[in-house]
Amino acid sequence: MPQIDPSVSAERWQLGDAGRAAAGALRPLIPRPAHYVASPEPKAVQTLQELAGEAEIATDPGFAEVRRPYVEVDYRTLARAYVEGTGHAGWEPHDEVATRFEEAIARHTGAARSTILVIGTHGLALTVWLGRRFPLEPSAGAFWAALGFPDLIDVDLATGAVRRLP
């Protein structure tokens, strides 16, 4: 989990100590070698730092979280409706999210070559992209609601298989 600070935008939140420890605990599950790329948001970069150890981490704005206003009240209800397809005023349109995410994947799939591509991203953006590209069962909203902080999702681009690790 990030250190939530309503006085700064969510894009600048830092990863808390518990979040760093949780990410570090997942490090053994990442195959080596890997190509690491994160959203430029500090919490995503810091999560990937814990997973990557000494490996280099690239950043790409295509993996940033959905642009939206800060919502303190009823955020989870609004966010779940958003990933299920509801367009909210001031929230980044779904097609824009899916397109920028897909383009970032294309850029980094080539850079990863024969290694695994490990992406440090955010729940809303990932869920919107996955929901546009692959069927999420039982629904995009249920997938998003079940995401952990952090979580490892294995996506096979060739088969469309999406599974949570471990």
**Nearest in space to 155 (alpha carbons), one of 121, 12, 66:** 121
- What length does the chain have? 166
Sequence-distant (≥ 6) Cβ neighbours of residue 62 within 8 angstroms: 100, 101, 103, 104, 105, 107
Sequence-distant (≥ 6) Cβ neighbours of residue 14 within 8 angstroms: 2, 3, 42, 43, 46
Q: By mean pLDDT, which of 20-24, 35-39, 91-95, 108-112 is the weakest?
A: 108-112
Q: pLDDT value at position 122?
A: 95
Domains of the chain: 10-165 (3.40.50.1240)
pLDDT per position as a tens digit, 11-31: 888 898 999 999 999 999 998
